[in-house]
Amino acid sequence: MPPRGPRMLRPVLVPAAPPPLPPWLAAGYSPPRRTHVLGRGRDAGRRLHVVDAGPGASGAPLVWLQHGNPTWSFLWRRVLALLPDLRCVAPDLLGFGLSDKLPRASDHGLERHADALADLFDALDPARVVLVGQDWGGPLVCALGARRPERVAGLVLGNTSVLAPARPRGTAFHRFAATPVVSDLAFRGLGFPLGALHRAQGDPASIAGDVARAYRWPLRRRADRAGPLGLARMVPTRADHPSLPALRAGEAWARAFAGPAALVWGERDPILGRALARHREALPAAAVTTTAAGHFLQEEVPEAIAAAIRDVLARA
């Protein structure tokens, strides 16, 4: 049951103007945007920035596009351009993009972010939804699917890991993020890894110039940079890590999901390129598309993602 008291607000989608974009960014990124005010839980009253684009035919499933670390809904713009006939929703996580920021890295947790997304989901109240996730967006849409299983019509995953590790250690990157002081200096003080996204790409030129600047812009202030460190620390590095229960619940839902699914993978991803084999095994009925893209495959192969979404919709 939702908590009672003064922090309990009714979930509402506010059609008023969302936070503005600077002219250089708005010139190339102008999807329909709105604000959702969280109505329950510890984040009641905080605001989620949401891209809500496309007409959406009567009875057609909504397409939910979920970003991960350290990006925001801008990540999906090229996919959105290929799906103009579908209603697509791309929320910014708390602490990212134009959503309200969380002040501490410890404020970020898988359950907390999934609760906020479930609040938005209930306000939208879709009859059916195709869940699409990349990076942390994968575990988050699986956590959402586990919360609202009767509404999920399809699942598309790309360069993510929705499988809880049997021996949680994390990569060197994640172990570094768990190291006090030096990781705070790197992530919050120097803005890491926002300036190095191109290094995770198959084609480094795919994140350069104003595109790279657009990823940095929402977290340009040091006080707003808790999110990338918080999500890096959400990766399990020990057997009692707090992310593991929610990861296992999401994995169990994904493995049991009987609807149409697809995997779209960038094999030149230095972070999760090799995770495809495990996901093929876990989701043996999923259609698989492999590409030469890197981690942020939305910037390199948006056509492959859009095609997978349409294929899942057709099979749904």
Q: Would you list the domain boundaries of the chain?
A: 12-315
Tell me whether residue 20 is exposed, middle or buried, using C-beta atoms within 10 angstroms of its C-beta: 0 to 12, 13 to 18, 19 or more: exposed
What's the CA gap between 232 and 173, in Å, rounded? 8
The pair of three-digit structure tokens given for residue 102, joined into one six-digit string: 């969380």
For the cut 50, the answer to whether the pLDDT of residue 5 exceeds it is no
What's the CA gap between 109 and 265, in Å, rounded? 25
Question: What is the reported pLDDT for 7?
Answer: 47
Question: What is the reported pLDDT for 16?
Answer: 57
For the cut 50, the answer to whether the pLDDT of residue 4 exceeds it is no
Question: What is the reported pLDDT for 274?
Answer: 95
Q: What is the mean pLDDT of residues 229-249?
A: 96
Question: What is the reported pLDDT for 15?
Answer: 56
Characterize the bridge pairing of strands 129-134 and 152-158. Answer: parallel
What's the CA gap between 119 and 152, in Å, rounded? 16
Secondary structure E strands in the chain: 12-14, 33-37, 47-53, 62-66, 88-91, 129-134, 152-158, 261-266, 287-291
Active site residues: 135, 269, 295
User: What confidence tens digit (pLDDT) does each residue in 269-280 have?
Assistant: 999 999 999 999
For the cut 60, the answer to whether the pLDDT of residue 1 exceeds it is no
Contact between 9 and 44 under an 8 Å Cβ cutoff? The reply is: yes
Contact between 218 and 96 under an 8 Å Cβ cutoff? The reply is: yes
Question: What is the reported pLDDT for 57?
Answer: 61
Characterize the bridge pairing of strands 33-37 and 12-14. Answer: antiparallel
Instruction: Please provide residue 50's backbone torsions phi and psi, each rounded to the nearest 5 degrees.
Output: -135, 125
What's the CA gap between 202 and 183, in Å, rounded? 26
User: What confidence tens digit (pLDDT) does each residue in 93-146 have?
Assistant: 999 999 999 999 999 999 999 999 999 999 999 999 999 999 999 999 999 999
- SS3 of residue 9 by DSSP: coil
Characterize the bridge pairing of strands 261-266 and 129-134. Answer: unpaired
Give the CATH number of domain 12-315; options: 3.40.50.1820, 3.30.200.20, 3.30.450.40, 3.40.50.2300: 3.40.50.1820
Angle 138-110-19 from CA coordinates, rounded to 5°: 80
Contacts of 290 (CB under 8 A, 6+ apart): 265, 267, 276
Contact between 137 and 159 under an 8 Å Cβ cutoff? The reply is: no
Question: What is the reported pLDDT for 170?
Answer: 83
What's the CA gap between 220 and 200, in Å, rounded? 21
Q: Which DSSP letter does residue 127 get? A: S
User: What confidence tens digit (pLDDT) does each residue in 6-54 have?
Assistant: 444 556 666 557 899 999 999 999 999 999 999 999 999 999 999 999 9
User: What confidence tens digit (pLDDT) does each residue in 249-264 have?
Assistant: 999 999 999 999 999 9
pLDDT exceeding 90 applies to what percent of the chain?
Answer: 89
Tell me whether residue 17 is exposed, middle or buried, using C-beta atoms within 10 angstroms of its C-beta: 0 to 12, 13 to 18, 19 or more: exposed
Cis peptide leading into residue 70 (ω within 30°): yes
Question: What is the reported pLDDT for 148?
Answer: 97
The pair of three-digit structure tokens given for residue 34, joined into one six-digit string: 């709105």
Question: What is the reported pLDDT for 3?
Answer: 43
